[in-house]
């Protein structure tokens, strides 16, 4: 299954560790033009250590640039950017400044991986995250959020997401949260290894799809 998601739609991707949620987004966003990834997990460093490409299928320096300091973002010439903040910049003020930059830039997808690092609780999150979610569509400045725990994130994220990719969630409260948001009880069922539920706002129920690796 490959669906083209419009540039003015927010996307929510969830699943426990190792289910494939980050891989799905990496492959999906490879085909979009202006993308900024907020790498809160330090995946850049892990991949470099293993000798793996930082963004599979793309060329660093030509297709994307990795930065470690937000002050460098205006000097980037590639259309895709990975911001892997160093320790001193792993703070909400920097995350908020990045979101403000994306909001003002327009025509840009912000990929957040992992959302819980950006939102310490369901009630504490960067102010410009709200700006992107509530007013970003008209500017085509949208958010693709990845997280392990949908029950622990701000309601504004789920409430404004238009497309959902849901991999296995072992905790019942996480599955129940998705049922409440979408209105479909199908999310109480586990999709299974390498499978996921795909749902669009307005549908009655999700469809089951398989992640091809």
3 state SS of 190: coil
pLDDT at 213 over 90: no
State the pLDDT confidence band at 212, using cuts at 50, 70 and 90.
confident
Task: Report H helices in the chain.
Answer: 21-29, 43-50, 92-105, 115-118, 127-135, 155-160, 172-182
Q: What is the mean pLDDT of the chain?
A: 96
pLDDT of residue 1: 54
User: Average pLDDT for residues 135-149, to the nearest whole number?
Assistant: 97
> What pLDDT, on the 0 to 100 scale, is given for residue 10?
99
Separation of first and last alpha carbons in the chain: 13
For 23-35, the pLDDT digits (tens) are: 999 999 999 999 9
Give residue 188's pLDDT.
98
Q: Give the DSSP letter of residue 60.
A: B
Residue 2: predicted pLDDT: 64
Is 130 or 4 the better-scoring residue by pLDDT? Answer: 130
Cis bond before residue 144 (omega within 30° of 0): no
The stretch 120-141 carries a mean pLDDT of 96
The set of residues, in sequence order, having a beta carbon less than 8 Å from that of 167 and lying 6+ positions away, is 13, 14, 15, 16, 19, 20, 21, 191, 195, 196, 211
Residue 104, sorted as left (phi over 0), alpha (psi -120 to 50) or beta, turns out to be: alpha
Whether 137 has a pLDDT exceeding 60, the answer reads yes
Q: What is the pLDDT of residues 74-124, one digit of tens each?
A: 999 999 999 999 999 999 999 999 999 999 999 999 999 999 999 989 999
Rounded to 5 degrees, what are φ and ψ at 110? -100, 120
Place of tokens 């640039």: 65
Q: Report pLDDT for 64.
A: 99
Q: What token pair was written down for 86?
A: 């160093």
Q: Which CATH class is domain 11-210?
A: alpha beta
Q: Where are the domains of the chain?
A: 11-210
Count of CA atoms in the C-beta half-sphere (13 A) of 102: 36
């Amino acid at each position: 299954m490959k669906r083209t998601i419009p540039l003015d739609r927010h996307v929510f991707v969830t699943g426990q560790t190792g289910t494939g949620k980050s891989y799905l987004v990496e492959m999906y966003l490879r085909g979009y033009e202006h993308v900024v990834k907020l790498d809160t997990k330090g995946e850049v460093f892990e991949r470099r250590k293993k000798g793996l490409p930082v963004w599979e299928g793309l060329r660093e320096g030509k297709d994307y640039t990795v930065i470690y300091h937000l002050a460098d973002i205006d000097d980037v010439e590639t259309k895709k950017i990975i911001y892997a903040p160093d320790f001193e910049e792993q703070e909400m003020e920097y995350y908020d400044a990045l979101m403000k930059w994306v909001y003002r830039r327009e025509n840009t997808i912000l990929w957040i991986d992992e959302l819980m690092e950006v939102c310490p609780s369901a009630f504490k999150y960067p102010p410009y995250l709200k700006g992107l979610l509530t007013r970003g569509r008209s500017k085509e400045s949208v958010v693709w959020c990845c997280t392990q725990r949908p029950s622990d994130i701000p309601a504004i994220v789920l409430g404004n997401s238009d497309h959902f990719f849901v991999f296995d969630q072992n905790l019942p409260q996480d599955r129940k949260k998705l049922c409440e948001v979408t209105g479909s009880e199908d999310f109480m069922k586990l999709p299974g290894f390498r499978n996921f539920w795909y749902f669009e706002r307005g549908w009655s129920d999700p469809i089951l799809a398989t992640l091809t690796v």
